Amino acid sequence: MVMREPEMARRQHPLKLDQASEPSHMTVDDLSSQADDAGLSDTMVAEPPARDGAQAQLASETARRRTFAIISHPDAGKTTLTEKLLLYSGAIDLAGSVRTRKNQRHATSDWMAIERERGISITSTVLAVDYAGCRINLLDTPGHQDFSEDTYRTLIAVDSAVMVLDAAKGIEAQTRKLFEVCRRRGVPILTFINKLDQPGREPLDLLDEIERVLNIGAVPLNWPIGSGGEFQGVYDMPGRQVLRFERTAHGAHRAPVQVANIGDPALDQLLGPRAAGQLRDDIDLLEGAGAGFDVATFLRGEVTPVFFGSALNNFGVEPFLQALVNLAPPPGPRPSDRGPIDPVAEPFSGFVFKIQANMDPNHRDRMAFIRICSGRLEKDMPVHNPRLGRSIRMTRPSKVFARERETVSEAYPGDVIGVTNPGVFAIGDTVCAGTPLRYAAIPRFAPERFAILQNRSLSKHKQFHKGLEQLVEEGVVQLLYDPLSMRREPILAAVGELQFDVVRARMATEYNVETELEHLSFVAARWPSCPPAVLESTRLPSAVRQVYDSADRPVLLFTSEWELGYLEREQPQLGLGGPVD
Ligand SMILES: Nc1nc2c(ncn2[C@@H]2O[C@H](COP(=O)(O)OP(=O)(O)OP(=O)(O)O)[C@@H](O)[C@H]2O)c(=O)[nH]1
Ligand SMILES: [Mg+2]
């Protein structure tokens, strides 16, 4: 028996075509609605080749990028797994926890005050990490469905996803919805079944559920040794190694691991005769079943490789990280209005998928997050924003690690970089050098909750409006106003109630403004696409209220789904749809 690091075979995989295309609007329950190609053609666009050396560097830098999101139902352990991936990649020395006791560190990716107070993730977090020769761009997402618009935007920016399941719960509702988004976008998925240290369901039962409910092949690449209080580690199937882990205090340090072969006579001693016998039987059964893993089927989204472990205890995290860098694809071509854009071709292009204000309490600025899709981005490079028709100098592109940032001199396809945003970038903007192009717009969700936000700190009128404007720019909520109302307060529109809590908490902590909410009884909003004259000449039911969004487009608010259905049926000329940008 030896003490050494497990070895995983390195695998090659071809670049794949990202079939990204989305509807112009959607509701939370309509994540699987039809794609709308918006005139994207499929002839590859490539600008004239760059200098040979620079071209080779662009190709090799792109090939070593791994950009993925961690997704699941709330509480499955995404943030905990993220923290442990940071620990094993060497990005942090000591892992923090989502819920902390005195003197303990917090998890890196839940950096916002309200996330730490509540122990849940509220906004997606970007973490750039180097590991095993790869640059990993890891995005931890919130699981709660009230924040699913943020998670959805993040999924547009990645090349693969890690789906985390709680071993006791299996596939939960939100996991299923997010899986469907990945499937529709052609994003390959790795599965991490977490919390094996707690009483859970049988591994075979969980695999069966993945296959049945998600209609995807589930191939285990490791197998758990025991479960609950007797969970000892995992059997790594490609490497044919037994990995027995030991717990550490709070899982803050890497778990010591002992490695053995399945045929090693000392296995009984290492695992105990019962666990060793059970493992031999399990492996015989699995190898007999002959369900081999094929990388191409994974990249096509037909199969998900499955890993078991416990993020909290660091059991199975390191082999998972190794498999992740081996299996997750590098950036592939991305559709645009000029056809698919090859990542390994100049010039630079990318798009803004996230905006976040006040990440750094010392600066209190706004940051736009750009996913690079092609070419090399250089510091001080002028880029074009086709929406505004203007050029912007990238003076300080930053590598982002949760709330920290570090200016970089260059960045490559797959990278998510932060740039300070004095109001020139909006979510969905394409940024590019060379001939202007546009990546598909990022759709907004139709709001289902409405409330008036009142300012309780009356002397802070300016702060109230600044805070609201910045939170709306981030997409935390949408803003509506009624020009006929005597009241001056804005109407907030959200997908879920928790978004209002976030607005109030962030207004207090980041803008020092106390606010009060007054809920409105509307349950749906629709944007009429008809010409203004048609809307003016249509008699609306008295309970329907007409308001405007921040781009001055008319919006109709409904107090019941029935009322909405009635108007859609009776007045089809209104062309009621979701929000479009
Ligand atoms: N027993 C056990 N608990 C775990 C494990 N991983 C995470 N947890 C706990 O599960 C709870 C939720 O973990 P998080 O990492 O915050 O889950 P999440 O998926 O990020 O949750 P949201 O971001 O709010 O959707 C926390 O109390 C964790 O300590 C594990 O392997 N074993
Ligand atoms: Mg989380």
For residue 488, what pLDDT is reported?
Answer: 73
Per-residue pLDDT averaged across 289-310, rounded?
92
**What six digits make up the tokens of 99?**
């819920």
Residues above pLDDT 70, as percent of the chain: 91
For residue 5, what pLDDT is reported?
Answer: 37
Q: Which region among 53-57, 102-106, 438-442, 475-479 has the lowest average model confidence (pLDDT)?
A: 102-106
Ion ligand 2 neighbours, Cβ < 5 Å: 78-79, 121
Are 475 and 369 in the same domain?
no
Dist. CA 322–CA 572, nearest whole Å: 54
Are 266 and 122 in the same domain?
yes
For residue 348, what pLDDT is reported?
Answer: 98
Task: Report whether residue 85 contacts ligand 1, using a CB cutoff of 6 Å.
Answer: no
Per-residue pLDDT averaged across 41-47, rounded?
51
The residue among 301 and 32 whose pLDDT is bigger is 301
165 CB-contact burial (10 Å; exposed 0-12 / middle 13-18 / buried 19+): buried
Are 544 and 399 in the same domain?
no
Task: Report whether residue 227 contacts ligand 1, using a CB cutoff of 6 Å.
Answer: no
Task: Report whether residue 506 contacts ligand 1, using a CB cutoff of 6 Å.
Answer: no
The answer to whether position 339 is within a domain reads: no
Interval between CA 181 and ligand 1 midpoint (Å): 23
Report the chain's mean pLDDT, rounded to a whole number. Answer: 90
For residue 104, what pLDDT is reported?
Answer: 79
Task: Report whether residue 145 contacts ligand 1, using a CB cutoff of 6 Å.
Answer: no
The answer to whether position 187 is within a domain reads: yes
Interval between CA 477 and ligand 2 midpoint (Å): 20
Atom number, ligand 1, closest to the C-alpha of residue 82: 15
The answer to whether position 310 is within a domain reads: yes
Task: Report whether residue 322 contacts ligand 1, using a CB cutoff of 6 Å.
Answer: no
Dist. CA 241–CA 234, nearest whole Å: 8
Ligand nearest to the CA of 313: 1
Are 495 and 424 in the same domain?
no
Total residue count of the chain as it appears in this document: 581
Interval between CA 545 and ligand 1 midpoint (Å): 42
Which amino acid residue places its CA nearest to atom 23 of ligand 1? Answer: 121
Provide the terminal-to-terminal Cα distance of the chain, rounded to the nearest Å.
Answer: 61
pLDDT band at 47 (very low <50, low <70, confident <90, very high): low
Torsion of CA 247, 193, 80, 404, to 10 degrees: 130
Q: What is the pLDDT of residues 471-481, one digit of tens each?
A: 999 999 999 99
Task: Report whether residue 73 contacts ligand 1, using a CB cutoff of 6 Å.
Answer: no
Q: What is the pLDDT of residues 384-393, one digit of tens each?
A: 999 999 999 9
The answer to whether position 440 is within a domain reads: no
Buried/exposed code over 50-88 (b: 16+ C-beta within 10 A; e: otherwise): beeeeeeebeebbbbbbbbbbbbbbbbbbbbbbbbbbbb
Which amino acid residue places its CA nearest to atom 9 of ligand 1? Answer: 77
pLDDT band at 34 (very low <50, low <70, confident <90, very high): very low
Q: At what angle do helices 317-327 and 78-89 cross, to 10 degrees?
A: 80
Atom number, ligand 1, closest to the C-alpha of residue 142: 23
Interval between CA 470 and ligand 2 midpoint (Å): 23
Are 383 and 510 in the same domain?
no
Half-sphere exposure of residue 451: CA atoms within 13 angstroms, side-chain side = 20
Answer yes or no: is pLDDT of 21 > 60: no
Task: Report whether residue 311 contacts ligand 1, using a CB cutoff of 6 Å.
Answer: yes
Residues above pLDDT 90, as percent of the chain: 82
The answer to whether position 211 is within a domain reads: yes
pLDDT band at 324 (very low <50, low <70, confident <90, very high): very high
Per-residue pLDDT averaged across 343-359, rounded?
96
Per-residue pLDDT averaged across 330-357, rounded?
97
Task: Report whether residue 80 contacts ligand 1, using a CB cutoff of 6 Å.
Answer: yes
Per-residue pLDDT averaged across 296-325, rounded?
97
For residue 103, what pLDDT is reported?
Answer: 72
Task: Report whether residue 198 contacts ligand 1, using a CB cutoff of 6 Å.
Answer: yes
For residue 3, what pLDDT is reported?
Answer: 38
Longest dimension (CA), the chain: 85
**What six digits make up the tokens of 33?**
């609605």
Answer yes or no: is pLDDT of 275 > 50: yes
Per-residue pLDDT averaged across 389-408, rounded?
95
367 has which bridge partners?
Answer: 356, 420
The answer to whether position 532 is within a domain reads: yes
Strands of 147-209, DSSP E: 160-166, 189-194
Answer yes or no: is pLDDT of 197 > 70: yes
Answer yes or no: is pLDDT of 29 > 80: no
Task: Report whether residue 75 contacts ligand 1, using a CB cutoff of 6 Å.
Answer: yes
Are 126 and 182 in the same domain?
yes
Answer yes or no: is pLDDT of 564 > 90: yes
Answer yes or no: is pLDDT of 44 > 80: no
Per-residue pLDDT averaged across 371-375, rounded?
98
The answer to whether position 58 is within a domain reads: no
Answer yes or no: is pLDDT of 72 > 70: yes
Q: How many structural domains is the chain composed of? A: 3
Determine the 3-state secondary structure of 465 from DSSP. Answer: helix
The domain boundary, picked from 432, 466, 493, lies at 432
The answer to whether position 335 is within a domain reads: no
Ligand nearest to the CA of 106: 1
**CATH code assigned at 84:** 3.40.50.300
Q: Are 231 and 196 in contact (CB under 8 A)?
A: yes
Dist. CA 75–CA 20, nearest whole Å: 28
Task: Report whether residue 251 contacts ligand 1, using a CB cutoff of 6 Å.
Answer: no
For residue 22, what pLDDT is reported?
Answer: 39
Which amino acid residue places its CA nearest to atom 4 of ligand 1? Answer: 312
Residue matched to tokens 């109407």: 491
Domain that holds residue 536: 449-577
For residue 48, what pLDDT is reported?
Answer: 54
Task: Report whether residue 210 contacts ligand 1, using a CB cutoff of 6 Å.
Answer: no
- Residues 6 or more apart whose Cβ sits within 8 Å of residue 555: 480, 525, 526, 527, 546, 547, 548, 549, 579
Are 476 and 428 in the same domain?
no
Per-residue pLDDT averaged across 265-285, rounded?
94
Which amino acid residue places its CA nearest to atom 11 of ligand 1? Answer: 75
**CATH code assigned at 397:** 2.40.30.10
Answer yes or no: is pLDDT of 42 > 90: no
For residue 578, what pLDDT is reported?
Answer: 85
**CATH code assigned at 558:** 3.30.70.3280
Are 252 and 386 in the same domain?
no
Interval between CA 448 and ligand 1 midpoint (Å): 28
Task: Report whether residue 499 contacts ligand 1, using a CB cutoff of 6 Å.
Answer: no
Dist. CA 150–CA 304, nearest whole Å: 24
Answer yes or no: is pLDDT of 287 > 90: no
Atom number, ligand 1, closest to the C-alpha of residue 141: 23
Interval between CA 72 and ligand 2 midpoint (Å): 9
Are 108 and 179 in the same domain?
yes
Are 312 and 369 in the same domain?
no
Task: Report whether residue 100 contacts ligand 1, using a CB cutoff of 6 Å.
Answer: no
Are 474 and 518 in the same domain?
yes
Per-residue pLDDT averaged across 457-481, rounded?
94
Are 420 and 455 in the same domain?
no
Out of 75, 169, 498, give the residue to mutate to test ligand 1, the one with the largest number of ligand atoms within 8 Å of its CB: 75
